Amino acid sequence: MSTPPAMLWLPALDRFGRAHPLRRLLAQADRLHDDPRGRLGHLAEGFHSGESSLPAAALVREYLAGDAGDTSWLNADPAWVQPDMTGVRLLACGAMPLAMGEAEAFVQALQPAFAEVGLPLEISAPDHWQLRLPPDMRVPDFATPEQALGEDLYQHLPQGAEGRPWRVLLNEVQVLLHQHPLNAERQARGLPPVNSVWLWGAGRLPAQLHSAFAGVIGGDELLLALAARAGIPCQSRTPQAVAATQAGWLVDLQDLPADEVERDWWPAVQELARRQTLQFSFASGERWLWRPWHRWRFWRGVPR
């Protein structure tokens, strides 16, 4: 049996300029078929739960708060939306600069609206909020943040009679947040407003997970939650940990800006590439396989 490569997840390829040293390495590597399934599709492949989709809300709740239990959960992550000429665009979801005190103030303003429809709203972390769903409550299919980011959010909301109560609830949430004085303070400090929530990732905590990875290095809470539930080792993301990555491990740098990858992480990736077979997977779907001996393909230049 061949040794599995270490997996390196990176931002979209078009964020790396032609002068980026990554381009030279890719020119010497073997191009694989593109895989456009997106981040959550890759996570679902790497962590098998037996479900059709990952119950992201329950996994994150268990990882951060430890009380997911048998309850069904739904993410209601803080979000930033902005109207334009053609609709309302989702510009950010979670991963927003948000202090715990701010999160508590926003959630306190929203809790009565959610409680009125029987959905307690709880905070797991400043940028991770969840709804505790009633037993046997059916919820529509909600788009993931990566599906909706940058697009008209109403195209990604559940439609028809089943989706109408959720659309009404979301409108009420947006009115309450638009009026919240904290948003004026945030904008005065140059921070984006928290003027919506994004609902996604419904489900119960899986009884068990099986991972295709030997371990993971990353900073994303969902990835770390999956690793914890699957019982595989996980390490904080540091250059030293990346340089020492072993076969079969996943290194997740996908959420970082390309210039930060070059400035802070590329030396560690180069050190790893000298001794380890790597599969480079980009958020935009492109994939390459690199083997240490590929460095002798010196005749291969960066494609124009």
pLDDT digits (tens, 9 = 90+) for 128-173: 999 999 998 989 999 999 999 999 988 999 999 999 999 999 999 9
Question: CA neighbours within 13 Å on the CB side: how many for 265?
Answer: 22
Domain boundary residue, one of 164, 185, 204: 204
Rounded mean pLDDT, 233-256: 95
Query: Does the structure show a pLDDT above 60 at 1?
Result: no
Same domain, 45 and 184: no
Same domain, 12 and 103: no
Q: What is the pLDDT of residue 301?
A: 64
Q: How many helices (H) and strands (E) does the chain have?
A: 11, 14
Is 302 within a domain? Answer: no
Question: Contact 96/78 with Cβ under 8 angstroms?
Answer: yes
Is 1 within a domain? Answer: no
Same domain, 265 and 154: no
Q: What is the pLDDT of residue 84?
A: 85
Same domain, 135 and 181: yes
Q: Cα–Cα–Cα angle for 26, 28, 33, nearest 5°?
A: 55
Rounded mean pLDDT, 227-241: 95
Is 303 within a domain? Answer: no
SS3 114: helix
Same domain, 88 and 140: yes
Same domain, 117 and 199: yes
pLDDT digits (tens, 9 = 90+) for 174-201: 999 999 999 999 999 999 999 999 999 9
Domain count, the chain: 2
Is 133 within a domain? Answer: yes
Is 153 within a domain? Answer: yes
Same domain, 148 and 255: no
Q: Give the separation between CA 70 and CA 205, rounded to whole angstroms.
A: 7
Same domain, 267 and 167: no
pLDDT digits (tens, 9 = 90+) for 196-228: 999 999 999 998 899 999 999 999 999 999 999
Range of the domain at 66: 56-204
Q: What is the pLDDT of residue 86?
A: 81
Question: What count of other Cβ atoms lies within 10 Å of the Cβ of residue 154?
Answer: 13
Is 108 within a domain? Answer: yes
Is 19 within a domain? Answer: yes
Same domain, 262 and 196: no
Beta strands in 62-161 (DSSP E): 72-84, 87-93, 121-125, 128-133
Same domain, 286 and 163: no
- Name the helix (H) or strand (E) containing 39: helix 39-46
Q: Cα–Cα–Cα angle for 122, 125, 128, nearest 5°?
A: 70
pLDDT digits (tens, 9 = 90+) for 68-117: 999 999 999 999 999 888 889 999 998 889 999 999 999 999 999 999 99
Rounded mean pLDDT, 272-292: 95
Q: What is the pLDDT of residue 296?
A: 77
Same domain, 69 and 194: yes
Domain boundary residue, one of 153, 184, 204: 204
Q: What is the pLDDT of residue 28?
A: 92
Place of tokens 């381009």: 23
Same domain, 15 and 98: no
Is 112 within a domain? Answer: yes
Q: Which amino acid is at 290?
A: W
Q: What is the pLDDT of residue 302?
A: 56
Domain boundary residue, one of 147, 182, 204: 204
